[in-house]
Amino acid sequence: MPSEQAAGAPSRRGYHHGDLRNALTEAAVERARAAGPQAIVLREAARATGVSSTAAYRHFANHHELVVAVKDHGLALLAATMRAELAKGEPCPDPGDEAMRRLRAAGLGYVRFAFAEPGLFRTIFFGAAEGEPSIGRRQAAEAEGDDGKVYGGTPGGSDESYTLMSEALDDLVALGRLPEERRRYSDVVLWSAVHGLSVLLLDTELARLPDDVKADIVSRGLDVALSGL
Protein backbone atom coordinates (compact mmCIF):
# COMPACT_ATOMS: atom_id res chain seq x y z
CA MET A 1 0.00 0.00 0.00
CA PRO A 2 1.18 3.56 -0.64
CA SER A 3 1.36 4.77 2.91
CA GLU A 4 3.26 3.44 5.88
CA GLN A 5 1.29 5.65 8.27
CA ALA A 6 -2.31 5.24 9.30
CA ALA A 7 -4.67 8.15 8.87
CA GLY A 8 -5.11 10.19 12.00
CA ALA A 9 -4.28 13.43 13.74
CA PRO A 10 -0.74 14.65 13.06
CA SER A 11 1.70 14.28 15.90
CA ARG A 12 4.12 16.92 17.13
CA ARG A 13 7.49 16.21 15.58
CA GLY A 14 10.95 17.66 15.48
CA TYR A 15 12.82 18.71 12.38
CA HIS A 16 16.37 19.28 11.25
CA HIS A 17 17.64 22.76 10.65
CA GLY A 18 16.55 23.92 7.22
CA ASP A 19 13.90 21.21 6.91
CA LEU A 20 10.91 23.05 8.36
CA ARG A 21 9.16 23.22 4.98
CA ASN A 22 9.16 19.41 4.72
CA ALA A 23 8.02 19.04 8.32
CA LEU A 24 5.10 21.40 7.71
CA THR A 25 4.20 19.52 4.53
CA GLU A 26 4.23 16.20 6.38
CA ALA A 27 1.97 17.59 9.08
CA ALA A 28 -0.45 18.89 6.43
CA VAL A 29 -0.35 15.53 4.63
CA GLU A 30 -1.44 13.80 7.84
CA ARG A 31 -4.36 16.19 8.19
CA ALA A 32 -5.38 15.58 4.56
CA ARG A 33 -5.17 11.83 5.13
CA ALA A 34 -7.47 12.10 8.11
CA ALA A 35 -10.07 14.51 6.78
CA GLY A 36 -9.38 15.56 3.19
CA PRO A 37 -8.31 18.89 1.69
CA GLN A 38 -10.49 21.05 3.93
CA ALA A 39 -8.38 19.92 6.90
CA ILE A 40 -5.22 21.52 5.50
CA VAL A 41 -4.61 24.62 7.66
CA LEU A 42 -1.19 26.25 7.82
CA ARG A 43 -1.64 27.35 11.43
CA GLU A 44 -2.53 23.80 12.47
CA ALA A 45 0.44 22.39 10.58
CA ALA A 46 2.68 24.82 12.45
CA ARG A 47 1.19 23.77 15.78
CA ALA A 48 1.68 20.07 14.97
CA THR A 49 5.29 20.74 14.00
CA GLY A 50 5.96 22.76 17.16
CA VAL A 51 6.69 26.13 15.60
CA SER A 52 4.94 29.47 15.44
CA SER A 53 2.68 30.56 12.61
CA THR A 54 5.20 33.29 11.85
CA ALA A 55 7.90 30.67 11.26
CA ALA A 56 5.54 28.67 9.04
CA TYR A 57 4.75 31.68 6.87
CA ARG A 58 8.44 32.02 6.05
CA HIS A 59 8.13 28.77 4.09
CA PHE A 60 4.57 28.99 2.77
CA ALA A 61 3.23 32.38 1.79
CA ASN A 62 -0.37 31.23 2.06
CA HIS A 63 -2.75 28.29 2.35
CA HIS A 64 -2.68 27.71 -1.40
CA GLU A 65 1.05 26.99 -1.43
CA LEU A 66 0.66 24.41 1.35
CA VAL A 67 -2.19 22.69 -0.51
CA VAL A 68 -0.03 22.46 -3.65
CA ALA A 69 2.77 20.87 -1.61
CA VAL A 70 0.36 18.27 -0.25
CA LYS A 71 -0.93 17.59 -3.76
CA ASP A 72 2.61 16.98 -4.98
CA HIS A 73 3.17 14.57 -2.11
CA GLY A 74 -0.07 12.77 -2.93
CA LEU A 75 0.86 12.47 -6.62
CA ALA A 76 4.20 10.92 -5.67
CA LEU A 77 2.44 8.34 -3.48
CA LEU A 78 -0.08 7.63 -6.25
CA ALA A 79 2.73 6.93 -8.72
CA ALA A 80 4.49 4.73 -6.15
CA THR A 81 1.33 2.66 -5.69
CA MET A 82 0.99 2.21 -9.43
CA ARG A 83 4.64 1.17 -9.72
CA ALA A 84 4.16 -1.34 -6.91
CA GLU A 85 1.18 -2.84 -8.74
CA LEU A 86 3.27 -3.08 -11.92
CA ALA A 87 5.99 -4.92 -10.01
CA LYS A 88 3.60 -7.55 -8.64
CA GLY A 89 2.99 -9.36 -11.91
CA GLU A 90 5.29 -11.35 -14.14
CA PRO A 91 6.24 -9.57 -17.38
CA CYS A 92 4.65 -11.10 -20.46
CA PRO A 93 6.99 -12.56 -23.10
CA ASP A 94 5.08 -10.82 -25.89
CA PRO A 95 5.82 -7.04 -25.87
CA GLY A 96 2.25 -6.16 -26.88
CA ASP A 97 0.76 -8.29 -24.13
CA GLU A 98 3.23 -6.73 -21.71
CA ALA A 99 2.10 -3.22 -22.65
CA MET A 100 -1.51 -4.26 -22.01
CA ARG A 101 -0.48 -5.80 -18.67
CA ARG A 102 1.18 -2.52 -17.72
CA LEU A 103 -1.95 -0.56 -18.60
CA ARG A 104 -4.14 -2.79 -16.47
CA ALA A 105 -1.72 -2.80 -13.54
CA ALA A 106 -1.39 0.99 -13.66
CA GLY A 107 -5.16 1.39 -13.65
CA LEU A 108 -5.58 -1.05 -10.79
CA GLY A 109 -2.88 0.73 -8.79
CA TYR A 110 -4.67 4.04 -9.36
CA VAL A 111 -7.94 2.73 -7.93
CA ARG A 112 -6.19 1.00 -5.04
CA PHE A 113 -4.50 4.24 -4.08
CA ALA A 114 -7.89 5.97 -4.01
CA PHE A 115 -9.27 3.26 -1.70
CA ALA A 116 -6.20 3.27 0.56
CA GLU A 117 -5.75 7.05 0.75
CA PRO A 118 -9.16 8.68 0.13
CA GLY A 119 -8.18 11.91 1.89
CA LEU A 120 -5.08 12.40 -0.23
CA PHE A 121 -6.87 11.24 -3.37
CA ARG A 122 -9.53 13.93 -2.90
CA THR A 123 -6.83 16.50 -2.12
CA ILE A 124 -5.00 15.86 -5.40
CA PHE A 125 -8.07 17.01 -7.33
CA PHE A 126 -9.20 19.67 -4.88
CA GLY A 127 -9.72 23.12 -6.36
CA ALA A 128 -9.94 22.10 -10.02
CA ALA A 129 -13.33 23.76 -10.45
CA GLU A 130 -11.97 27.02 -9.05
CA GLY A 131 -9.01 27.02 -11.42
CA GLU A 132 -6.36 26.09 -8.86
CA PRO A 133 -3.40 24.09 -10.20
CA SER A 134 -4.30 20.43 -10.25
CA ILE A 135 -3.63 17.27 -12.18
CA GLY A 136 -5.02 17.52 -15.68
CA ARG A 137 -4.45 21.15 -16.62
CA ARG A 138 -1.43 20.45 -18.79
CA GLN A 139 -3.11 17.39 -20.26
CA ALA A 140 -6.07 19.54 -21.27
CA ALA A 141 -3.83 22.12 -22.93
CA GLU A 142 -1.81 19.58 -24.83
CA ALA A 143 -4.87 17.62 -25.91
CA GLU A 144 -5.60 20.57 -28.17
CA GLY A 145 -2.22 20.31 -29.92
CA ASP A 146 -1.59 19.15 -33.44
CA ASP A 147 0.62 16.15 -32.69
CA GLY A 148 -2.28 13.88 -31.77
CA LYS A 149 -0.80 12.99 -28.39
CA VAL A 150 -1.61 13.88 -24.82
CA TYR A 151 1.27 13.80 -22.39
CA GLY A 152 1.05 13.61 -18.64
CA GLY A 153 2.04 16.33 -16.28
CA THR A 154 1.07 19.02 -13.84
CA PRO A 155 1.90 22.71 -14.22
CA GLY A 156 5.07 22.21 -12.17
CA GLY A 157 6.42 19.15 -13.98
CA SER A 158 5.84 15.58 -15.00
CA ASP A 159 3.12 13.47 -13.40
CA GLU A 160 4.35 9.90 -13.36
CA SER A 161 0.93 8.47 -12.53
CA TYR A 162 -0.27 9.71 -15.91
CA THR A 163 2.81 8.89 -17.98
CA LEU A 164 2.81 5.27 -16.79
CA MET A 165 -0.33 4.76 -18.86
CA SER A 166 0.71 7.11 -21.66
CA GLU A 167 4.02 5.32 -22.29
CA ALA A 168 2.31 1.93 -22.45
CA LEU A 169 -0.07 3.32 -25.08
CA ASP A 170 2.88 4.65 -27.08
CA ASP A 171 4.43 1.17 -26.97
CA LEU A 172 1.21 -0.36 -28.31
CA VAL A 173 1.34 2.02 -31.26
CA ALA A 174 5.01 1.27 -31.90
CA LEU A 175 4.28 -2.46 -31.84
CA GLY A 176 1.35 -2.15 -34.23
CA ARG A 177 -1.17 -3.25 -31.63
CA LEU A 178 -2.93 0.12 -31.52
CA PRO A 179 -3.60 2.05 -34.75
CA GLU A 180 -1.94 5.44 -34.57
CA GLU A 181 -5.20 7.22 -35.45
CA ARG A 182 -6.82 5.69 -32.35
CA ARG A 183 -3.99 6.76 -30.04
CA ARG A 184 -5.28 10.31 -29.71
CA TYR A 185 -7.06 11.00 -26.40
CA SER A 186 -6.72 7.37 -25.31
CA ASP A 187 -4.77 8.61 -22.26
CA VAL A 188 -7.65 10.79 -21.13
CA VAL A 189 -10.25 8.10 -21.80
CA LEU A 190 -8.40 5.46 -19.77
CA TRP A 191 -7.67 7.97 -17.02
CA SER A 192 -11.37 8.88 -16.89
CA ALA A 193 -12.25 5.20 -16.53
CA VAL A 194 -10.06 4.56 -13.50
CA HIS A 195 -10.79 7.94 -11.96
CA GLY A 196 -14.52 7.54 -12.45
CA LEU A 197 -14.48 4.10 -10.86
CA SER A 198 -12.55 5.52 -7.91
CA VAL A 199 -14.94 8.41 -7.33
CA LEU A 200 -18.10 6.32 -7.73
CA LEU A 201 -16.88 3.67 -5.32
CA LEU A 202 -15.70 6.24 -2.78
CA ASP A 203 -18.23 9.05 -2.86
CA THR A 204 -21.59 7.60 -3.87
CA GLU A 205 -23.96 4.95 -2.54
CA LEU A 206 -21.69 2.39 -4.20
CA ALA A 207 -19.24 2.99 -1.34
CA ARG A 208 -21.51 0.78 0.82
CA LEU A 209 -20.95 -2.26 -1.38
CA PRO A 210 -18.85 -5.13 0.03
CA ASP A 211 -15.17 -5.01 -0.83
CA ASP A 212 -15.33 -8.11 -3.00
CA VAL A 213 -18.12 -6.58 -5.08
CA LYS A 214 -16.11 -3.38 -5.50
CA ALA A 215 -13.13 -5.43 -6.66
CA ASP A 216 -15.30 -7.18 -9.25
CA ILE A 217 -16.62 -3.82 -10.49
CA VAL A 218 -13.08 -2.47 -10.86
CA SER A 219 -11.97 -5.60 -12.73
CA ARG A 220 -14.95 -5.40 -15.07
CA GLY A 221 -14.40 -1.70 -15.63
CA LEU A 222 -10.80 -2.29 -16.63
CA ASP A 223 -11.90 -5.10 -18.96
CA VAL A 224 -14.31 -2.76 -20.74
CA ALA A 225 -11.86 0.16 -20.93
CA LEU A 226 -8.98 -1.91 -22.28
CA SER A 227 -11.07 -3.88 -24.75
CA GLY A 228 -12.22 -0.56 -26.16
CA LEU A 229 -8.70 0.18 -27.35
What single letter denotes the amino acid at residue 229? L
Of 150-154, 187-191, 219-223, highest mean pLDDT:
219-223
Task: Output the furthest CA–CA distance in the chain (Å, rounded).
Answer: 59
Verify that 119 and 187 share a domain, yes or no: yes
Total count of residues recorded for the chain: 229
pLDDT of residue 40: 96
Q: Helices marked H in the chain — which ranges?
A: 20-35, 42-49, 53-56, 63-88, 95-116, 118-124, 137-142, 160-174, 186-203, 211-227
Tell me how far apart the alpha carbons of residues 52 and 54 are, in angstroms, rounded to a whole number. Answer: 5
Q: SS3 of 154, please? A: strand
Verify that 115 and 43 share a domain, yes or no: no
Verify that 191 and 84 share a domain, yes or no: yes
The total number of structural domains in the chain stands at 2
pLDDT of residue 128: 58
Give residue-wise pLDDT tens across range 113-137: 999 999 999 999 987 545 454 455 5
For residue 13, tell me if it sits in a domain: no
Please give the helix or strand (H or E) that residue 130 lies within, else none: none
Give residue-wise pLDDT tens across range 172-188: 999 999 999 999 999 99
Range of the domain at 35: 20-61
